[in-house]
Amino acid sequence: PEHLLDYYIKSVGRNTNMLIGMAISADGDFQDEEQFVEFGKLLKETFGTPLYEKTDLTGNTFIIKNDENRQMKYLLLCEDIRDGHNINGFSVFADDRKIYEGKCIGHKRIIPLGNITANEIRIEADGTEHTPILKSVSVC
């Protein structure tokens, strides 16, 4: 399950699909069911209940306050792509220190934060043709 979580973050978390080859045995049974059940549990445990979440945000700067001083493992960004991809560059800051820089958000971007504690996470979008819209920003 931990290996699948890593693949999930490196595929779905980078705006793509996660394709898993699952083989069915000759008797119609699925031999590896347990690992996928555990993977589902791990996904829910990791991302199911965000520490902080904001939805339907418009603008070039998005801020999440960590008033309770919790450790943060992942930042999830979801761009509103109904009218296409718009954000062509973005930076993430933890208490005014740049910790990540990327080019694309798209449907979903998962950024590992490595158990940081910061008072504020700030996302600054740049390289946009139109006003950026994020469907959601959450921290787990």
**Residue pLDDT, tens place only, 62-82:** 999 998 889 999 999 999 999
Residue in 10, 7, 5, 2 with CA at minimum distance from that of residue 111: 10
Residue 17's pLDDT is: 92
Task: Please report, as a single letter, which amino acid is at residue 9.
Answer: I
What is the C-alpha to C-alpha distance for residues 137 and 56, in angstroms, rounded to an integer?
9
pTM: 0.89
What is the C-alpha to C-alpha distance for residues 116 and 83, in angstroms, rounded to an integer?
34
Q: Is the pLDDT of residue 30 over 80?
A: no
Phi, psi torsion values for 63, nearest 5 degrees:
-125, 135
Flag the least confident range among 29-33, 88-92, 96-100. 29-33
